[in-house]
């Protein structure tokens, strides 16, 4: 007679459903030839201003669109829509992050093959979004100079899951005595080798470098997809 | 604070595993929680008890095993345990780019059945 074992080995990722959905999204994006970039930061770091200037710069030469997540209001979608690019707001209610299911739902009716680049602006939060794969090709973490050089040390996980750090509001750097070497050291301490870019959405400084970076990452991913 | 969402995902996952095995009386859930998972142990334990209310898992215990970060440096071809999440540099050189081997775990490892 056999008795039921008291301990059953399972080995199951808790966010399995999200990961399955994110993998399916990544495949869909790749099949449609759209490069997907997500943007995370604390509230007020300048994600929306950054996307506003980026979309204005890219539209209509490149076929771009954006999804923007917030707990409430469609204010950011309205701001981004001024660029002329297609925009959709994701209102999460009380949820502090986007997940793959929200992204999938908000894509309904969009012909992905008609897009070159899709941007996803996450809810302003440096903690929770780090756990959720959205199927993106590139995750940008934005930190503004006014937040202090030690932000990466305080939120190591989000910096660790992102691909590139973008330091924003650099026009304000002299006013807050921003310590560039210290910021760079802190970013690399939590994520050695991380690419670091600098930008002022207000003056446009750093935008050409960012565009070049974006294009090189996009062509790399297309090359890999075609491989 | 997304630990409540994570707790609900744990419950969904356990219920699915239980149903696949014809329905289990689960007394405890063993969870591996990496230091880079972005999930706080205390907040998760707190949320778990709340999330279990009125489910078949009410009264079950969440047993968390914390998994520290372990890095692998491809240049040195060696693993190391970083002193903290704030110091991921390879001990040999800050220019090396170590990869994360462990620390991202957020995994149900085992189910303990009622005896």
Residue A6 belongs to a domain: no
| Per-residue b or e along A42-72, where b marks 16 or more CB atoms closer than 10 Å to that residue's CB | beebbbbbbbbbbbebbeeebbbbbbbbbee
Asked if residue A205 belongs to a domain, the reply is yes
* B5 lies within 8 A of chain A by CB: yes
Verify whether the Cβ–Cβ distance B37 to A157 is below 8 Å: yes
- pLDDT of residue A6 exceeding 90, the answer is no
Task: Give the chain B residue nearest A3 (alpha carbons).
Answer: B115
Q: Would A211 be classed as within a structural domain? A: yes
> How close B37 comes to chain A (CA, Å)?
6
Partner B contacted by A1 (CB < 8 A): no
**Is B82 part of the contact surface with chain A (CB cutoff 8 Å)?**
no
A116 falls within a domain: yes
Instruction: Inform me whether the C-beta atom of residue B110 falls under 8 Å from chain A C-beta atoms.
Output: yes
Q: Which domains does chain B have, with CATH numbers?
A: 3-68+102-113 (3.30.2320.50)
Q: Is the pLDDT of residue A1 over 80?
A: no
CB atoms B107 and A13 under 8 Å = yes
**Which of A5, A12, A14, A153 would best serve as a mutation to test chain B binding (most B beta carbons within 10 A)?**
A14
Cβ neighbours of B9 in A, within 8 Å: 14-15, 17-18
Residue A10 lies in a domain: no
How near does any CA of chain A get to the CA of B6, in Å? 7
Euclidean distance between the first and the last CA atom of chain B, given in angstroms as a whole number: 34
Q: What is the CATH number of the domain that holds A33?
A: 3.40.50.300
Distances (CA, A) of A94 to A71, A97, A119, A168: 6, 9, 22, 27
Residue contact A10–B108, C-beta within 8 A: yes
Q: How confident is the model at residue A226 (pLDDT cuts 50, 70, 90)?
A: low
- State the pLDDT at residue B114: 87
Identify the band that residue A94 occupies on the pLDDT scale cut at 50, 70 and 90. confident
Cβ distance B85 to A190 less than 8 Å, yes or no, reads: yes
Q: What pLDDT sits at residue A4? A: 56
Say what percent of chain A tops pLDDT 70: 96
**Are B97 and A153 inside 8 Å of each other by CB?**
no
Closest residue of chain A to B9, computed from CA coordinates:
A14
8 A C-beta contact, residue A30 and residue A22: no
pLDDT > 60? residue A227: no
Asked if residue A223 has pLDDT above 90, the reply is no
Domain assignment present for residue A150? The answer is yes
pLDDT confidence bin for A129, thresholds 50/70/90: very high
CB B98: neighbour CB atoms within 10 A? 25
Query: Is residue A36, in this structure, part of any structural domain at all?
Result: yes
Predicted pLDDT at A222: 79
Please check whether residue A160 touches B, CB under 8 A: yes
B49 touching A (Cβ < 8 Å): no
Phi then psi dihedrals of residue A61, to 5 deg: -60, -45
> Rounded to whole angstroms, what are the CA distances from A58 to A40, A63, A119, A207?
20, 8, 12, 11
Q: Is residue B21 within 8 angstroms of chain A, CB to CB?
A: yes
**Chain A contact for B23 (CB, 8 A cutoff):** no
B96 interfaces chain A, CB cutoff of 8 Å: yes
| CA end-to-end distance (rounded Å), chain A | 55
Tell me, yes or no, if A96 comes closer than 8 A to chain B by beta carbon.
yes
Task: Express each pLDDT in A44-62 by its tens digit.
Answer: 999 999 999 999 999 999 9
**pLDDT of the residue at B43:** 96
SS3 B109: strand
DSSP state of B54: T
Q: In this predicted model, what pLDDT tens digit does every residue of B29-87 receive, in sequence order?
A: 999 999 999 999 999 999 999 999 999 999 999 999 999 999 999 999 999 999 999 99
Predicted pLDDT of residue B57: 96
The token duo for A214 is: 């974006």
pLDDT in tens, A153-196: 999 999 999 999 999 999 999 999 999 999 999 999 999 999 99
- Using DSSP, state whether A66 is helix, strand or coil: strand
What domain range is A37 assigned to?
16-215
Mean pLDDT of A98-108: 96
Whether the complex's predicted ipTM surpasses the cut of 0.85: yes
Rg for chain B (alpha carbons), in Å?
17
Number of domains in chain A: 1
In this prediction, what percent of chain A has a pLDDT beyond 90? 93
Evaluate whether residue A21 is within a structural domain.
Answer: yes
């Amino acid at each position: 007679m056999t008795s039921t074992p008291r301990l059953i080995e399972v080995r199951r990722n808790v966010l399995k459903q999200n990961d399955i959905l994110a993998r399916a999204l990544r495949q869909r994006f790749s099949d449609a030839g759209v490069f997907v970039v997500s943007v995370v930061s604390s509230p007020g770091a300048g994600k929306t201003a950054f996307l506003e200037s980026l979309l204005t710069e890219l539209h209509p030469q490149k076929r771009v669109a954006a999804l923007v997540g917030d707990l409430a209001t469609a204010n950011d979608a309205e701001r981004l829509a001024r660029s002329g690019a297609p925009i959709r707001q994701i209102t999460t209610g009380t949820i502090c992050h986007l997940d793959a299911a929200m992204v999938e739902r908000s894509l309904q009716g969009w012909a992905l093959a008609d897009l070159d680049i899709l941007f996803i602006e996450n809810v302003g939060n440096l903690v929770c979004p780090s756990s959720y794969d959205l199927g993106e090709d590139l995750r940008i973490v934005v930190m503004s100079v006014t937040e202090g050089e030690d932000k990466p040390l305080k939120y190591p996980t989000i910096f660790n899951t992102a691909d590139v750090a973008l330091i924003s509001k650099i026009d304000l750097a002299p006013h807050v005595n921003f310590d560039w070497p210290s910021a760079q050291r802190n970013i690399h301490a939590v994520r050695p080798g991380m690419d670091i870019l600098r930008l002022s959405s207000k003056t446009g400084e750093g935008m050409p470098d960012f565009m070049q970076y974006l294009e090189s990452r996009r062509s790399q991913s297309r090359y890999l997809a075609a491989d | 604070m997304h630990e409540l969402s994570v707790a609900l995902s744990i419950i969904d996952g356990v219920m699915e595993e239980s149903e696949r095995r014809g329905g289990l009386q689960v007394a405890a859930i063993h969870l591996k929680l990496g230091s880079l998972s972005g999930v706080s142990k205390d907040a998760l334990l707190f949320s778990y008890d709340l999330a279990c209310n009125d489910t078949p898992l009410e009264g079950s215990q969440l047993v968390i095993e914390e998994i520290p970060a372990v890095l692998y440096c491809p240049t040195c071809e060696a693993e190391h345990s970083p002193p903290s999440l704030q110091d991921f540099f390879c001990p040999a050189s800050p220019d090396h780019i170590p990869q994360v081997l462990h620390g991202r775990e957020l995994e149900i490892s085992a189910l303990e059945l009622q005896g």
